[in-house]
Amino acid sequence: MIFMIVGIVGFQGDVQEHVKSLRRAGRSRKLQVRPIRRPEDIDGISGIVIPGGESTTIYKLLNTYGIYNLIKLECKTGLPVMGTCAGLILISKETGDPRVNGMGILNATVTRNAYGRQKESFMGEISVDSIGKMVVPFIRAPKIINADEDSIIGRYGNEPVILRKGNALGLTFHPELTDDLRIHEMFLDMVEGEGYTSTGE
């Protein structure tokens, strides 16, 4: 059987929420979701999600377990990737934090916790190309300071909040904390469109 295997970096953050959203979004597809914590977990995956959480912690653990450079290489050579919140920081070129080296998958400059601390979290209505309007949570969210104009596919007011370029999708918010599956469906469409399929184990 041929199916997609989507990996989720599983150290910290909204891991289970992404698992549930992906499984729901992929219920009509042949989909397997796999946590990524070791180099061997990356073998055969069709796409990867780097979730929200604490970017400095996720970055440190990715390096500690020897998978930061492996993920960077795979994504640089075409593996579809979705980074949400902290995940966006990690796949951007400039993270705005000297403690975190960005992978440079997206040609973007971001700044972390730009909307304030946890108590300043809020729900905001965004507009997304080809999807329409969505109401999504911004939780200690980063801001996109600079990015290729043609990569911006979603905005909150005038501020870019979604970037899509080639095999990469980056979001400042948390789609996995809503019942709206359209972002996860978009990512699965990207994975299928790239033809990244794996044989069953």
Residues designated catalytic: 85, 174, 176
35: helix, strand or coil: strand
Strands, DSSP E only, in 46-167? 47-50, 81-84, 92-94, 106-111, 122-128, 132-138, 143-147, 152-156, 159-165
Q: Do residues 71 and 103 make contact, with C-beta atoms less than 8 angstroms apart?
A: yes
**Which two three-digit tokens encode residue 181?**
């599956």
Name 122's bridge partners: 138
Which of 86, 152, 146, 82 is closest to 113 using CA atoms? 86
Burial 161-181 (b: 16+ CB within 10 A, else e): bbbbbebbbbbbbbbbbbeeb
**Which two three-digit tokens encode residue 186?**
């978009």
**Which two three-digit tokens encode residue 105?**
């998958």
